Chain A
Amino acid sequence: MSNATKVIGTGPGAWFGHIGDSLVAMQHGYGKALRRSRGRTIVLSLIILLGLVYPLLHQYVLAEFSRNVFALPLPDDTVMTFMMIFAIMAVGLNIVVGFAGLLDLGYVAFYAIGAYVAAFLASPHWAAIGINLTFLGNVGPEAQGVHLPFWLILVIAVVVVATFGALLGAPTLRLRGDYLAIVTLGFGEIVPLVFKNLSSLTLSFTLGPIVIAVDNVNLTGGVQGINPIDPPFLPFLNILFDSRSGPLAVYLGVFLLAITVVVARNLQYSRIGRAWMAIREDETAAAMMGVNTVRSKLLAFALGASFAGIAGAFQASYLGATTSDFFEFSTSILVLIMIILGGIGNIWGVIAGAITLTYIDKTFLPYLGQRAQDSPIPLPNPAEYNFLLYGIILLVMMRFRPQGFFPDRQREAELSVGGLAEAETAMGVELDLDNVSVAPRGQEETGPEARKAETIDEARDL
């Protein structure tokens, strides 16, 4: 993967050329996978193909069947679009938590910033203070407020959110794992509060000859949020991808997800990706080997965050509205559960986790809730207790399968061959790595290590 190292530090032209290279490489990779394990590759391909056809199948066949013949818990196109949005976020959070081993509990902040970037740049919001700017949008030139095209907004959202990611990361990366988790959590709480509260801003200050005076300006729309936001729009073909566009929006989501997957995969196998994994395993050792840990961790934060920016901008444009209520701590945790379920570090695993959990959250539990309501005996509504289920999932996964259902194969191998567990068994002691390592280690290491330690504990109790 020598071409992957070109990612960092080359211009946008090289980027596109590089993505082309990647597509070719993927083709080669597919052939290789087909030769290596034929059955598995074919089954996976069929699942992906079916997934790609499903939105159409649902629109024209299954929805009718479910409506008229027998109610099935089928995800509709809104749910499918959200599957893609959450999958994009899961891939992004996986860069921070999975690759670099930094626990980010405030990921929702970047999602919120992405959504508000879209809201600020494609809505009539600023007309209230007389700012009107329409540029290549899908609205007429007489439209009030700021209207930029969706594709430009995506790029701006990525840049803005990555900047915020770096801003948050810069002062906090000295912190140890659990402190970092709390700082990011605090950031994740502050950002939606700021969006909620900046609804009547009054300030005035003098900067040399410039006097800035703002009187009661509604900056963020407050509790009501901002709407309407222009939907994603494909020029020339005149296609709108709004919440009424059915499968079209799902396919836009698939397209965006595909881009993020290509970027994430290239990052994973590039120089920076290997630096992240070195830091995750042992920050001190990585630094000794010449890895610039601060720069690498900052990049992890900024790049991981930018994915949430894409997801946020897409979500706001798709729904046509955004409010601060959308971005709660529970959303950060939901994405975290997705990647823990799927297998931290494995891109395909976390996508599977995101799709599964979004399905459970938005289709399956409400479906059960509907059944419970229809039943003659009073039953609790499972949709109201979704976070009870997620809490239990977290507890059970941490206890019994911390590596997730589709663990990253490379990491599993790293951990089992000549790993810590082996050394411990050979020496008959428990190695205390806490004094050696300052890096928060990934979750995959839990299994063998924990079991070994328990028996030692038991031995000590006797």
Chain B
Amino acid sequence: MDQIIQTLIIGLANGLLFALVALGYTLVYGIIELINFAHGDVFMIGSLIAFALIAPVSDGGYAIFPVTAGTAVPLMVLGIVLTLAVTMGLTAGLNAGIERVAYRPLRHAPKLAPLIAAIGMSFVLQNVGVVLAGANQRTIENVFPTTNLLSYIGIDGITLTVSQVLVGVVTIPLLFALSWFVAKTRQGKAMRATAQDPDTAGLMGVDVNRTIAITFLIAGALAGAAGVIQILYNNVTVWNLGFRFGLIAFTAAVLGGIGNMKGAVLGALILGIVSSVSDRYVSANWTQAIVFGVLIAILVFKPSGLLGQQLADRA
């Protein structure tokens, strides 16, 4: 029983991380029906930026906001907040720039043209990753104490670490902020209108290009936040991290029903749990194949996903 709960905790932490990236896929697909292949690589670039900001010089970073195991708690919080702000800003700008350069000129081309351009962009970003950080993995020391928080309330069989809590502390407020933004603000309304019908939204006075750019900004910022968490939680990054991770996140978005934000989070949590269960009870070697198997199964049997609406031309 303890083992199962432990697996669930790990799965939820992974799932929250997937959710941040999955939201980027779902937002972009919702608004321009493009599978933004390069999104996983924006996440990877985010993790490299976070690495550069946090990691000590001895590990190959620049220690601009040094966060190490020895840092005092207030300084550590400040460092993490600043890292988040800078990384999210940079990846947001990067993602919006990608949209401007690669996708906007192809907006009215057949659907497969921007998809192929996105694949090209993905390769470009991966190579930027190699140029920035080399071909080898970059790792940092775990900065958080590894004590079990649950032992304070008398549970010893299950472990909940500070880094797992951090994943929740960063991710959950972001998810609520995004949900508020899309549901309550004027710009959010413009996003929803554009997603429904860009032409009509344009006629109603919505600046479609600006709305799409803002969607990419938000998606990029979320990917940046995920990159910071990747460094603090998994402590490792490498140039090809984004491809596989991006596919998992995309699978999550499809599982939940692409275009649907709640669905993306739900799908990500489910996949997080599926992958941790697979790691634990099958073999880490097979996790990747199982995730892709899930992807194929959903697309074939229920392309609208768990929470997606049934669209005639969607499948």
Q: How far is the CA of A186 from the CA of B102 in the complex (A)?
A: 24
Asked if B295 contacts A183 (CB within 8 A), the reply is yes
Q: How far is the CA of A171 from the CA of B296 in the complex (A)?
A: 10
Selecting from A55-63, A86-94, A137-145, A394-402, the interface stretch reads: A394-402
A-B pair count, CB < 8 Å, reads 163
**Among A186, A394, A435, which residue has its beta carbon within 8 angstroms of that of B123?**
A394
**Among B35, B109, B293, which residue has its beta carbon within 8 angstroms of that of A449?**
B109
Asked if B115 contacts A103 (CB within 8 A), the reply is yes
Per-residue B-contact encoding for A423-462, CB less than 8 Å = 1, 0 else: 0000000101011001011110110011011100100110
Report if A175 contacts B (CB, 8 A): yes
Report if A193 contacts B (CB, 8 A): yes
Report if A177 contacts B (CB, 8 A): yes
Number of interface residues of B (CB under 8 A): 52
Contacting A at CB under 8 A, from B279-304, are 283, 285-286, 288-289, 292-293, 295-296, 299-300, 303
- Residues from chain A with Cβ under 8 Å of B106 in the complex: 398-399, 446, 450
Asked if A394 contacts B117 (CB within 8 A), the reply is yes
Q: How far is the CA of A179 from the CA of B105 in the complex (A)?
A: 22
Asked if A183 contacts B121 (CB within 8 A), the reply is no
Report if A74 contacts B (CB, 8 A): no
Query: A171's closest neighbor in chain B, by CB?
Result: B300
Q: Secondary structure of the B side of the interface?
A: helix
Q: How far is the CA of A172 from the CA of B243 in the complex (A)?
A: 23
Asked if B120 contacts A398 (CB within 8 A), the reply is yes
Report if B257 contacts A (CB, 8 A): no
Selecting from B46-54, B124-132, B163-171, the interface stretch reads: B124-132
**Among A190, A390, A399, A446, which residue has its beta carbon within 8 angstroms of that of B293?**
A190
Report if A249 contacts B (CB, 8 A): no
Report if A384 contacts B (CB, 8 A): yes
Q: How far is the CA of A186 from the CA of B289 in the complex (A)?
A: 8
Report the minimum CB–CB distance from A136 to chain B (whole Å).
36
Q: How far is the CA of A449 from the CA of B115 in the complex (A)?
A: 17
**Among B114, B123, B254, which residue has its beta carbon within 8 angstroms of that of A398?**
B114
Report if B250 contacts A (CB, 8 A): yes
Given contact pairs A190-B289, A461-B209, A394 touches B300 in the complex (Cβ within 8 A): no
Q: How far is the CA of A196 from the CA of B35 in the complex (A)?
A: 28
- Residues from chain A with Cβ under 8 Å of B249 in the complex: none
**Among A176, A197, A329, A390, which residue has its beta carbon within 8 angstroms of that of B120?**
A390
- Residues from chain A with Cβ under 8 Å of B119 in the complex: 105, 333, 336, 391, 394
Asked if B299 contacts A182 (CB within 8 A), the reply is yes
Q: How far is the CA of A336 from the CA of B115 in the complex (A)?
A: 12
Contacting A at CB under 8 A, from B198-247, are 199, 202, 209, 243, 247
Q: How far is the CA of A394 from the CA of B114 in the complex (A)?
A: 10
Report if A392 contacts B (CB, 8 A): yes
- Residues from chain B with Cβ under 8 Å of A330 in the complex: 123
Contacting B at CB under 8 A, from A13-62, are none
Report the minimum CB–CB distance from A181 to chain B (whole Å).
6
Report the minimum CB–CB distance from B114 to chain A (whole Å).
7
Report the minimum CB–CB distance from A14 to chain B (whole Å).
36
Asked if B315 contacts A197 (CB within 8 A), the reply is no
Per-residue A-contact encoding for B61-83, CB less than 8 Å = 1, 0 else: 00000000000000000000000
Most-contacted residue by chain B among A105, A178, A452 (CB, 10 A): A178
Most-contacted residue by chain A among B33, B250, B283, B292 (CB, 10 A): B292
Q: How far is the CA of A378 from the CA of B199 in the complex (A)?
A: 52
- Residues from chain B with Cβ under 8 Å of A385 in the complex: 127, 130-131
- Residues from chain A with Cβ under 8 Å of B154 in the complex: none
- Residues from chain A with Cβ under 8 Å of B135 in the complex: 384
Given contact pairs A183-B299, A333-B123, A178 touches B112 in the complex (Cβ within 8 A): yes
Report the minimum CB–CB distance from B33 to chain A (whole Å).
8
Contacting B at CB under 8 A, from A136-191, are 171-172, 174-179, 181-183, 185-187, 189-190
Q: Spell out A's residues near B (CB within 8 Å).
A: 103, 105, 171-172, 174-179, 181-183, 185-187, 189-190, 193-194, 196-197, 329-330, 333, 336, 340, 384-385, 387-388, 390-395, 398-399, 402, 430, 432, 434-435, 438, 440-443, 445-446, 449-450, 452-454, 457, 460-461
- 11 A-B pairs with C-beta separation under 8 A: A178-B111, A193-B289, A385-B130, A391-B120, A395-B117, A432-B199, A438-B313, A440-B110, A442-B110, A445-B110, A450-B108
Beyond contacts A182-B299, A450-B113: 19 other A-B pairs, Cβ-Cβ < 8 A, are A176-B314, A178-B33, A182-B295, A189-B292, A193-B286, A193-B288, A194-B289, A196-B285, A330-B123, A388-B123, A390-B120, A391-B121, A398-B106, A399-B106, A441-B111, A445-B110, A452-B108, A454-B108, A457-B209
Counting from the closest, the 3 A-B pairs by CB-CB distance are A394-B120, A391-B123, A453-B108
